[in-house]
A and B are shown apart, each in its own frame.
Chain A
Amino acid sequence: MTHTAVAYSMDDRSQREFDELVYRYYQQAYNIAYRLTGNAADAEDLVQEAFLRAYRFFDRYDRSMPFMNWFNRILTNLYIDEYRRRGRLRTVSIDEVYSNEDGDEGTTMDIPDSAPDPLERALSNEYREAIHEALQYLSPEFRVAVVLADMEGYSYEEIAEITKTSIGTVRSRIHRGRKQLRDHIRRRHPNLFERGDLK
């Protein structure tokens, strides 16, 4: 009852503040949701639902915290809940990944090559799709950690705050998630890893 009153009486200032935040962060939020869900329709649903929840609980938002840190907590929680609810958890066995790892990766280190690095060019659509697809093979927790760290540039501390876990857990998830991604992409597109000397 009290909450209803609070929500109905969201004053104009809060309303305007919320609107501005939606305008400012909508694209970023959508991008994260798209990388997590893997498709546009689910991403739109996720973003809408997350903003709706943010609106309802806007009175609890602590202004000392960046909005996107708070919002990403809502978004990632929603995503993981929804993922579990749909029961389409696809886990990738770490053992399987490790057994497919080839042992001669170190040999590329000594070959000097003056050709332009493939990464210096824009990633072709094929590579983008491969990376996007590889992301979908990660478990939701790993995916959240990797997307927030490598695509959004959050620090481990921020990710720990968003996901409500310890920094040690975040470190482990990012490391294992990156390794799984690397192995998956390398199996499809080994040339992306051929030029090793990027120092």
Chain B
Amino acid sequence: MNCRYVQSRLSAYLDFELSGAEQQQIRSHLEVCMECSSEFESLRRTKQLLKQMPVVKPRSCPEQVLLRVRHSSPVASRPLFGVRWHAPRFWQYAGGLALVSALIFWGRFEDPETTPLTTASPILTYTTTPSTPLLPAVAPELSTVYRPYSPPLFRRAPYPMYEPGLMPSVSYSVDPMLGYQPVSAWNTIPPQPKLIETQR
């Protein structure tokens, strides 16, 4: 029995948590080994110090605990179907998952360059590239509704879920006196395509 082995068991020896034979072996070793004996004494002293620590008196009383217990919801926060619905971490994961899936679905669409933003008549509406100035100089008679094209951050759906006219975009109406006027953030379908066709 070497010192290293003995020293690893000293606390258990001190607490009488070893078998009878092992207790006896360590006791015999401690009688002859000063180093291990000293180590044992320091551990015994530590245990004594802890034991002598006074019991701390609480400021509160058990009635307070019982009062709180009585007024608490008796429903335990037991995991439902193995999921802790009330845990903040659950909502963190759920939020992250929702964000990732939204990005995935948002990006799974066709090229916006080849996809018209709306199904409106090209006679009344046309899009420009960003380099094109926002002036209807080319064909002012065709641009009663002028919708500047801006490249989207993400690819858009080829077949929008909603009515195309309700897709959020900024549109401008051209008034001969007032110039370009933003109509609304929620564009409506350009008006009266049939009327113009009949005029032709």
A residues near B, CB below 8 A? 3-4, 7-8, 10, 18-19, 22-23, 26-28, 30-31, 34-35, 40, 43-44, 47-48, 51-52, 55-57, 105-106, 108-109, 119, 122-123, 127-128, 131-132, 146-147, 149-151, 155-156, 167, 171, 174-175, 178-179, 181-182, 185-186, 192-193, 196-198
Contacts and interface: CB of A to CB of B under 8 A. Distances in A.
Contacts of A57: 76
Interface in B12-71: 12, 15, 17, 34-35, 37-39, 41-62, 64-66, 68-69
Given A171-B17, A185-B49, A196-B38, A178 B43 contact: yes
B151 interface: no
Contacts of A198: 41, 44-45, 48
Interface of B: 8, 10-12, 15, 17, 34-35, 37-39, 41-62, 64-66, 68-69, 72, 74-76, 78
B58 A27 contact: yes
Nearest to B54: A128
Contacts of A105: 38-39, 42
B113 to A, nearest CB: 49
Contacts of A186: 42
Given A31-B55, A128-B53, A22 B62 contact: yes
Contacts of B45: 119, 182, 192-193, 196, 198
A182 B65 contact: no
A43 B72 CA distance: 19
Given A26-B61, A40-B58, A151-B51, 7 more contacts: A34-B56, A52-B68, A56-B72, A119-B52, A147-B50, A185-B46, A196-B38
17 contacts: A3-B76, A30-B56, A30-B58, A34-B58, A48-B64, A56-B76, A105-B38, A105-B42, A119-B45, A123-B53, A150-B47, A151-B51, A155-B15, A156-B17, A175-B8, A182-B46, A193-B42
A109 B46 CA distance: 16
Q: Taking chain B's interface residues, is the majority helix, strand, or loop, or is none over half, making it mixed?
A: helix
A52 B68 CA distance: 8
Contact of B65 (A26, A171, A175): A26
A48 B35 CA distance: 46
A102 to B, nearest CB: 11
Contacts of B39: 105
Contacts of B68: 48, 52
Given A31-B56, A178-B11, A106 B34 contact: yes
A26 B58 contact: yes
B76 A181 contact: no
A56 B72 CA distance: 9
A174 B18 CA distance: 14
Given A3-B75, A3-B76, A185-B46, A155 B53 contact: no
Contacts of A181: 46, 50
B56 A52 contact: no
A198 B38 CA distance: 11
Contacts of A185: 46, 49
B78 to A, nearest CB: 6
Given A109-B34, A109-B37, A156-B17, A44 B46 contact: no
A19 B66 contact: yes
